[in-house]
Structure 1
Amino acid sequence: MKTSSILLGALLPAAAIAQIEQNETFITGLFQTLQNSGVTSLSDVLTQINSSEVGQGLLANISSGSPYLLFAPNNDALSSAPENITGDAGLLTDTIGYHIVPGNFSSSIPTYPNITIGRTLLTDPRFVRLEGGNKAQVAAWAEREDGRTHVLNQRNDSTVVDVTSFENVTVYIIDHLLIIPENFSSTIPTNNEGLTAIETILQTVQTPVFNTSTNETANVTLFQALDVDWHGFTFFAPSNGAVANASSSLESLAGNETAIQAVLYNHIINGTTLYSPLLANQNFTSTAGATLAFTINATGQYVTSANTTARILQPDVLLPNGVVHVIDSVLLNTEEDPEAASSAIASATSVATESPTETEPVGFSQTVSLDATATGGADSTDATGESSGAFVVPGRNALVGLSVSALAVLVGALVTLA
């Protein structure tokens, strides 16, 4: 340390040297705490990433004195981690960034399906394509039926096995490395509720997407839009069972392209990523321009569109570019209001430019419980949110590829599933 201080003294002012030495002292103490807890492999990984500029930035953040939550993979977790992560220094650094959450979350571990959502330090645009381009990816965790805290949406269920702390850092020791949220196409096969039926439907439909690089609008499948093109959306995805149960109702809409268009877009809020804690007792405007109303009570969280109410079976399926909530019914709403849809996306686009400063749980998780019935509507809000501007607000003929023949394919798939 003395030699490094002499060398730094020729290049940096005293205040900067003092900060560097303070950071090194903090990091040494944190590493020792991890080692004392048996998390020796993570200590080695942190030493490794500290050799890169990005890694140094991560460690400098948590040594700032502000509260942080660190999900610390234990030795077994790191030994069984995918080689494509552990063997790639850049990806490994980004992955560790996904394990660090600014803020004090020590008193916020609700019981599932209530979920704690927190912004992490993962901002790499290769893996985070949320609205506005200035947001970090989130992590989601909750206490499950076994009384243990689980980090959700992981290929391997990751469980908190111990808790410790060092100065301003709360350390949740976990039994699996957290995997950065993956694209919709990669998430569907691993989803517990089953989303292959809605995937088939989404592959059938065309939707316009504005390319900010070319300043042109092109038509892609709605599945591709959710998978890649859209930056910031909330999709209420009917499970396989929900699609099968609704097959006869959807079949009756065959030939009515306007009605089918409205049903599909009434499952999406475009331009804004709304995690479940942000939905409770609120109203938002769908891509078709209809109202989506949300309520929560002792039996769960619900979304209502016109005369259809669906229960959210699995909230907060995290994606690089949005979030999916799996629901138990198809929202059979054929209403549309292009003016309301345009107003909502304009508001979302405006909000998207704001820089987030979230250092606490996102939404209601600290204050709202499933223990008491809550009603929605009275204090609801219009759809405001955040947008990258990549959406084109659909009009009556926006789904240009949804011909009568395409409808036949769609209905055929539904009948097969019924």
Structure 2
Amino acid sequence: MSIKAFLTAALVAVASVSAQNATTNGTMQSNSTEYAAGLVQALQAANLTTLAGLAAQNAQALLPFLMTGNKTVFAPTNEAFAALGNASNNATLVANVLQYHIYYGDISNNAANASNASMVHPNASATANSTMTNATMTNPHTILRSLLNSTEFVQLPGNQSQVGVFTMGNGSSMGNSSMMGNSSMMSDASMSGNSSMSSVTWVGATKNVTSVATTTYKNLVVHVIPEVLTIPGTLNETATAANLTQLTGALNTYAPGALQMLEAIRGVTIFAPVNAAFANVTSLLGTLNATQITDVLLNHVINGTVVYSTEITPTTNATSAAGETFTFMSGANGTYVKSGNSMSKIIRADIPIANGVVHLIDNVLANPMSNPQAAASAASVYQSMARTATAIPTGPVAAVPAATGVAAAATGGGTSGAGKVGVSAAAGALALGVGLLVGA
């Protein structure tokens, strides 16, 4: 039996079992079998044989999601999977990696909405190889939720799955030549090419990955990519990879254990100063006591919720882990965050981590003030919403009108209202824990 025939048979067999378990309706079973067979044949025709094999192995878990609603799939080439080496032998890891390559919705439609937005988003992803440094802000980010929701890799609040951050290309056509001479991808009847589709760039923590071909299969938009996407890591792993040594150094010096506490929170937003920013506040920090320095650090953190750039508008108000208010301003030069009398520009937005998101800023928010009562009040609001969030959010991450912010957040809809941007129950413990550690 050929590899193609074997994979087709395997995927079809799993599809049949899945359909029988789900319903006795003959039509549904027939549709599942047809869908699975067509998909694996399309992947084979596109020379994505490794992906086809992995899809067959994980069909029972993936097929119910793939068949329903519009999805965006990022399909690594055979060479991309080969570069994983022995990691590809870890079945659990591979299953989770595949889920991180499948996203709810059609990215091209959501990107169009983002580009038509009136505000200037604090996004920085101009180049294909930009790292976590001062990057040029160009295309607005589109943030979609993936299928990945395993607690081994994701600790987001309200049953949220992990996100991917994307930008669209310049509208260049994706012809056959972009698939390194593989003309079969666009000629196969079951998987049709779309020459009007732009390339898509996945914006990673330390590198970006841009699609080399785009095509469709039924309800799927498939972007072929030359590398396997990396599942976001922990805060410490991301900070280490990004060389944020001054930030981690300040936390370890003034608040030992704070990194571990931040990683334990379900939902965290961090405005992280780049290394150069700390040089500008050395003299100021020298005038503060340990408690005040702790408050400065906590005024860079929103605990218990995740605020992506697409949720930030000039009307957004957020409460820091120290109980102080964040406000945001946007203009032709970018988006700024303010705490107390200190303001900083967001120079790189939307770096997902396992339990939240990191935004890089160009200055330290040197606000030594705190408001424990405000932190407690915000914590109460967010706790209530987290308890009522039962469904897994599947829509793109975007701001909603402030008037409906609390309701939308409670149902997992994504909002930038003050109700959603609160502080979790862990905020008080974090502030107290850090304070005790600093005072020790």
| TM-score above 0.5 | yes
RMSD of the TM alignment (CA)?
3.0
- Aligned pair partner of 1:67 in 63, 70, 74: 70
Which residue in the other structure is 1:196 paired with?
245
Indicate whether 1:242 and 2:242 are aligned. no
Distance 1:205 1:146, change over 3 A: farther
Map residues 251-400 of structure 1 onto 2, 5 A cutoff: 251-253=286-288, 256-281=289-314, 282-353=316-387, 354-364=389-399, 381-382=417-418, 384-385=420-421, 389-392=425-428, 399-400=435-436
* TM norm structure 2: 0.75
Which residue in the other structure is 1:142 paired with?
167
Q: CA deviation at 1:181?
A: 0.7
Which structure has more helix as a fraction of its residues?
Answer: 2
> Aligned partner of 2:45: which letter?
N
Which residue in the other structure is 1:233 paired with?
268
Q: CA deviation at 1:249?
A: 1.4
CA distance in 1, matches of 2:40, 2:55: 8
> Aligned partner of 2:281: which letter?
A
More contact order relative to length (CA 8 Å, sep ≥ 6): 1
Q: CA deviation at 1:260?
A: 1.4
Which residue in the other structure is 2:36 paired with?
27
> Aligned partner of 1:28: which letter?
A
Indicate whether 1:184 and 2:209 are aligned. no
Which residue in the other structure is 1:402 paired with?
438
Task: State whether residues 283 and 293 of structure 1, in contact with CA within 8 Å, keep that contact through their aligned partners in structure 2.
Answer: yes
CA distance in 2, matches of 1:174, 1:272: 31
State the secondary structure of the residue aligned to 1:401.
helix
Q: CA deviation at 1:355?
A: 2.9
Which residue in the other structure is 1:411 paired with?
none
- Aligned pair partner of 1:81 in 69, 80, 84: 84
Q: CA deviation at 1:36?
A: 2.9
State the secondary structure of the residue aligned to 2:108.
coil
Distance 1:360 1:126, change over 3 A: same
State the secondary structure of the residue aligned to 2:110.
coil
Indicate whether 1:116 and 2:118 are aligned. no
Distance 1:269 1:47, change over 3 A: same
Aligned length: 361
Which residue in the other structure is 2:409 paired with?
none
Task: State whether residues 232 and 321 of structure 1, in contact with CA within 8 Å, keep that contact through their aligned partners in structure 2.
Answer: yes
CA distance in 2, matches of 1:394, 1:124: 25
Task: State whether residues 160 and 393 of structure 2, in contact with CA within 8 Å, keep that contact through their aligned partners in structure 1.
Answer: no
State the secondary structure of the residue aligned to 2:394.
coil
Distance 1:190 1:305, change over 3 A: same
Q: Percent identity?
A: 32
Distance 1:31 1:57, change over 3 A: same
Distance 1:263 1:98, change over 3 A: same
Indicate whether 1:99 and 2:125 are aligned. no
Distance 1:386 1:246, change over 3 A: closer
State the secondary structure of the residue aligned to 1:123.
coil
State the secondary structure of the residue aligned to 2:211.
strand
Distance 1:244 1:315, change over 3 A: same
Q: CA deviation at 1:69?
A: 0.7
Task: State whether residues 288 and 338 of structure 1, in contact with CA within 8 Å, keep that contact through their aligned partners in structure 2.
Answer: yes
CA distance in 2, matches of 1:156, 1:99: 16
**For structure 1, which segment, 167-176 or 352-361, has the greater mean C-alpha deviation from structure 2 after superposition?**
352-361
Which residue in the other structure is 1:58 paired with?
62
CA distance in 2, matches of 1:90, 1:331: 41
Consecutive unaligned residues in structure 2, runs of 5 or more: 1-8, 116-122, 125-139, 173-198, 401-414
Task: State whether residues 205 and 352 of structure 2, in contact with CA within 8 Å, keep that contact through their aligned partners in structure 1.
Answer: no
CA distance in 1, matches of 2:358, 2:416: 21
- Aligned pair partner of 1:38 in 37, 47, 50: 47
Q: CA deviation at 1:103?
A: 1.6
CA distance in 2, matches of 1:239, 1:289: 23
CA distance in 1, matches of 2:374, 2:145: 30
